[in-house]
Structure formats: C-alpha cells, structure tokens
Amino acid sequence: MATAELAGKHLVLGMTGGIACYKIAELTRLLTKAGATVQVVMTEAATQFITPVTMQALSGRPVYTSQWDARVPNNMAHIDLSREADAIVIAPASTDFLAKLVHGMADDLLSTLCVARDCPLLVVPAMNRQMWQNPATQRNVAQLRADGVSVLGPDSGPQACGEIGDGRMLEAAATYEAIASFFAPKILAGRRVLLTAGPTFEPLDPVRGITNRSSGKMGFALARAAQQAGADVHLVAGPVALETPWGVLREDVQTAQQMHDAVMGSVANADIFIGVAAVADWRVDHASEHKIKKTAGHALPSFAFVENPDILAAVAQLPRPPFTVGFAAESGDLETHGEEKRVRKKVPLLIGNLGPLTFGLDDNEVILFEAARTTRLPRADKQTLARALIAEIAKRLPDTSPIR
C-alpha cells in the first residue's frame, strides 16, 4: 500500500452521521501509520455511531464536535482547525451533508470548516441505495464535482439496511488508497497503461492444472502506482487472491491464451504495456474433458505439451507498439539472462528481479536492462519499488502527452 504520499500531510477528517463511521476507525489507523496527522472533527450525528474517545485514541489528537469548543484559544475553531490542512476529507459523507456542502451552509463546526477552508475537499459518500440514486443526491454530487470537490466512491454491494446496490462507503483500505492517490504526483496523467499480473493456470483436466508461484503482488503494486500517477489502468490478472487496486479496471483470466487474447483486445488503446505476469510457457495439447481417473494397474498418465503465445513479444512486435516493459524472474545469472531476454523479446526496457526468486514476498530488488545501460534500484517493499519503477518508466516516455 502507498505511504510516501501521506507522510507529513495534515488532514482534517470530518465524520458525519452514518453506520459507516465504524470504517473510519480503521481509516484513521491507516492514515496515521502512513505518517499523516489526522484532526478528527465529528458532527453531532456522527457521535451517535462511534465515540469521540475512540477517534481521539486512534488519531492521537483531541476530537472536535462543537464550534463553541473553548479549547481553541481564539475561539475560532472553524478557522484554526483547517489552517494547516493539506485537505479536508469528509468520511462518511451523509446525504444531508452533501446537500449542505452544495449550498455552502455553515450551521455546525464541520460545515463551517468546509465553507471557510483554503484547501482541497474530498468527500466519501455513504448512504442507502435509494438515497444515492435520488435525483437530488445525483444533482448535488454533480454540483460538488463541478465545484472541484473530489468524490471518492461510493462502492456497490450489500448495505446495512439489507439492500444491495450503489451507495455504501468504500472500505477503509480503498478510502486510504484513494486519498494517497489524490496526493501522488500525476506523472502519468492522460496515459493508458495495460498490465498483466499473477500466474496463469493451464488445465490438465477439469480439476487439475499447471500453475506457478507468482502471487501477483508486484503487478498489482504497479497497477496501483500507475493509477495513483494519474494513468487510466487496465489490469489483466491471472488467478490471484488480491484486492483490485482502487480505480483500476481488472479483467480476470485463467490461461495464457486467455491472457494473450485479453491483452491483444485492448493493446491498441494502450500507451504503455507492462508484462509482469508469470505466463506458463506450455499448456497441455488436449486437456481432458473429464477428470483423469487413477485406475489400479493402468499406466501413469502422460501429457503432450504445446507452446503458449509469448504475450510480451507479441506486443513488442506490433507495428505501432506501446512503450513495452518486460519482467524477468531468473534463478541465476540475471546479468546475462536479463539483457539476452530483453533483446530476444525486442523490448526497450526489461526489469530483472535480483537475488533469489521473490514470489509472494513483500520486498524486492531489481535491475533495469535497456540498450545503453543497466540501473539498479535499491531493495524496497513492492509498493515503494512500484512507485520508483513507474517514475523510471515515465522518464522514458516522450515529453508530450499521449505518445500514440
């Protein structure tokens, strides 16, 4: 998860009334862990759902609920609390509070803070499906966007009221990612990034198959970093157990052929292609339609393999390829194999994993192979490394906006 963007940031976290208040406890923990200072301000309604004591303990700062709070020396809480703020985040943002914001109403501490602010405003709506779909709410959200307010979410799914639909608040982790994304430098604004990630699964029969140990973590971290850098991101993922990064379009596939077809169907729109997936090199020629039975006294099964398409090489060989980046996981002599692989696949940039194979681990160390040089990046967690790699890729693109 991204952290660098939030270190040292000062956020006013405004809570309004709603059951989603419970998510803000976790959000506060994530934000403070990332090095942000969090000043919680709650409406009277929010205090009905979670106590200021809990929020004070998690944020490490006194919580404000009233504009008449005598703890602010000059008695101007509505000005003072947001004076140093890098942003005000309203989470959860109730239907009522969105309506108040549209009209610039200032009848309690939090609404007054918003009207008196001199910093960006982010709102994270949380409400019942009908309330979200109400034309008045939709008008209000459109107006807030037009006023330059960032609207994060909402999510879709089961709601506290028992209904299913749009309106529920993003989960704490997704809200955290969306806030980090807001602060990240937009070095890929206007670019479209297509990535592959994870392993592929090549069936032997309906229940068995061949796969590998790729966790997908590096590819997902890159997708997240590209999205945070302002890119439009399409992630083609093999079978992995990972959450989709916020704001990323994800397409799930199983086999190398399916991954190839998904990539080829979208690559014409991409400015950058990053092949991170550990694609199976071979598949069984004719996978059995039925489960292969273990019959006593019969010969062991044997399989004929055929080669899978090389997705990276296919993209690099297109008449007008996007800026194409490959990865290489080697179990030895990376220096030789890395450059050889880059030349063989005809890609301008290939990223090699240094040291032992790092499948599933959170840390990684890489070396960049390109025609004129190699560059080492220091060991770091995969998300930090992903951010550094996106910066390296951005540096290698032409200066003008979309390259194709």
Return residues touching ligand CTP (CB under 6 A). Answer: 196, 256, 275, 277-279, 281, 308, 310-312, 326-329, 341
C-beta neighbour count of 377 within 10 angstroms: 18
* Minimum separation from the CB atom of position 199 to ligand CTP (A): 10
* Minimum separation from the CB atom of position 265 to ligand CTP (A): 15
* Minimum separation from the CB atom of position 310 to ligand CTP (A): 4
115 vs 357 by CB, closer to ligand CTP: 357
204 is in an annotated binding site: no
236-256 burial string, b = 16+ CB within 10 Å, else e?
Answer: bbbbbebeebbbbebbebbbb
Smallest Cα–Cα separation from 369: which of 397, 345, 346, 339?
A: 339
245 vs 326 by CB, closer to ligand CTP: 326
329 vs 388 by CB, closer to ligand CTP: 329
Sheet with 10-15, side-by-side order of all strands: 37-42, 10-15, 87-93, 121-125, 150-151
341 is in an annotated binding site: yes
DSSP assignment letter at 169: P
Distance of CA 181 to the CA centre of its chain: 8
* Minimum separation from the CB atom of position 287 to ligand CTP (A): 17
115 vs 361 by CB, closer to ligand CTP: 361
Let me know if 210 is exposed, middle or buried by CB neighbors in 10 A (0-12, 13-18, 19+): middle
**Looking at 21, 114, 119, 161, which residue is catalytic?**
161
Smallest Cα–Cα separation from 123: which of 16, 22, 247?
A: 16
Report how far residue 277's alpha carbon sits from residue 199's, in angstroms, rounded to the nearest whole number: 6
The verdict on whether 161 is a catalytic residue reads yes
Report how far residue 376's alpha carbon sits from residue 301's, in angstroms, rounded to the nearest whole number: 45
312 is in an annotated binding site: yes
Query: What are the binding residues?
Result: 281, 291, 309-312, 327, 341, 345
Query: What are the binding residues for CTP?
Result: 281, 291, 309-312, 327, 341, 345
Active site residues: 161
